[in-house]
Structure 1
Amino acid sequence: MHSNLVHRTTPLRLELRSDAVDERIIAGIAAPFDGPAEIDSYEGRFTETIRRGAFAKTIRERGDRVKLLGLHNRQTMPLGRAVLLEERSEGLYAEFRISQTQAGSEALELVRDGTLDQLSIGFRAISEVWDRTRTRRTLTEVALSEVSLVLEGAYGGAAAISGSRSADGHTLTAEQAQMRLRLLELN
């Protein structure tokens, strides 16, 4: 059990992509940089910010071994694994290959139809800076344990799935996914 493991969630910006290879990829910003989030957890209530560079060591040491889970559930099989993790100006960009399993296929369909539209990271803080009142925390290094598809996010619209691709040709941009949801709400 990871005693200091915490979770931070962000909404997805969905984009479904297709290529000639039989890959099922979900991609997006898993954690935004420099975007304060209001946190209310077992650690207390505070504002948290992740700085660029916080994921560098994880990416270097174990980037391709980071798993994609559903709802942070470690009791079931993972949905996939990272094929790309990199720090970009807006945050930690991640691409995950979704496994050809029943759970993987179900998760991919839930992302496609907008039901699962948020990402969350599970991590341990390695290096952090608190203000004097302990109401603001800045994370400068974290050990990324996993990324999960979840229902609700801590970082608002800043961390999101920007896309997905599959060999079946099913493609849906973030705008199309939002429009689809608006149409469903009207009906």
Structure 2
Amino acid sequence: MTGKPETETRCVVRAVESRADDDGKMTVAGYAAVFNEEADIGGWFIETVAPGAFDRSIKEHDVRAFFDHDMGRVLGRKSSSTLRLEEDSKGLSVEIDLPDTSDGRDVKTLIERGDISGMSFGFRVTKQEWDETGEVPKRTILDVDLFEVSIVSMPAYDGTSVAMRSLEAARSERKQQNFSAAQRRLRMKMDLDMKVRSKA
């Protein structure tokens, strides 16, 4: 695999809450990811997100909030404090102060009507573990570069092919490690045989 890994997206279908303050400002809140919850990714593998996976990225990245992962439909931004992100015991908690724009008003109406019930996040995996001891491979995401969170109208698990390439890379690396270990064992055996022969 060459170059940087591509961006993946994942969606959590949970209630997205809305509230308005005395000034009429509309805030929506929910979870873009839930820790230790198994997700079936396209029937190819099972994925879980480990606690702490977002901690570094929340501190380092200026994350944006979009509607449906559309970069032209900005709802909030971490650096302007209109997007607030936090890891708690449950997962990646998200709060967005919706803008007084057509997208902001549309999202507010859709949430209030119950038409929207999902949040999602766009990320690039920087640390992961694969377990292939069972019938279906299991991926645990340990650390990510988090680029954006989205309020989404349709749940989707995009990036499956990217993750599959990641699995293939992990398998290739394991094969190389096993091959190298076998080579070391063979060299040690040959060295031992030579020593035994020289003493005979």
User: In 1, are the aligned partners of 2:67 and 2:73 still within 8 Å (CA)?
Assistant: no
Q: Select the structure with the greater relative contact order (CA < 8 A; seq sep ≥ 6).
A: 1
**Residue 100 of structure 1, CA deviation:** 1.3
Q: Cα deviations across residues 88-113 of structure 1 (Å, max 9, x unaligned)?
A: 11111111121111111111111111
Q: Cα deviations across residues 76-131 of structure 1 (Å, max 9, x unaligned)?
A: 23122343211111111111121111111111111111111111111100100001
Determine if the alignment matches structure 1 residue 68 to structure 2 residue 69.
no
Query: Match of 1:149?
Result: 151
Query: Match of 2:77?
Result: 81
Q: How many residues align?
A: 148
* Consecutive unaligned residues in structure 2, runs of 5 or more: 158-200
Query: Match of 2:38?
Result: 36
Alpha-carbon distance in 1 for matches of 2:37, 2:44: 16
What SS class does the counterpart of residue 77 from structure 1 fall into? Answer: strand
What SS class does the counterpart of residue 45 from structure 2 fall into? Answer: strand
Which one has a bigger Cα radius of gyration? 2
What SS class does the counterpart of residue 59 from structure 1 fall into? Answer: helix
Query: Match of 2:139?
Result: 137
TM-score calculated relative to the size of structure 1: 0.71
Matched ranges for 1:161-172 at <5 A = none
Alpha-carbon distance in 2 for matches of 1:99, 1:135: 42
**Residue 48 of structure 1, CA deviation:** 0.4
Letter of the 2:18 partner, please give it: L
- Name the structure with the higher helix share: 2
* Consecutive unaligned residues in structure 1, runs of 5 or more: 156-187
User: In 1, are the aligned partners of 2:16 and 2:118 still within 8 Å (CA)?
Assistant: no
Alpha-carbon distance in 1 for matches of 2:73, 2:23: 24
Letter of the 1:151 partner, please give it: S
Between the two proteins, what is the percent identity of the paired residues? Answer: 36
TM-score calculated relative to the size of structure 2: 0.67
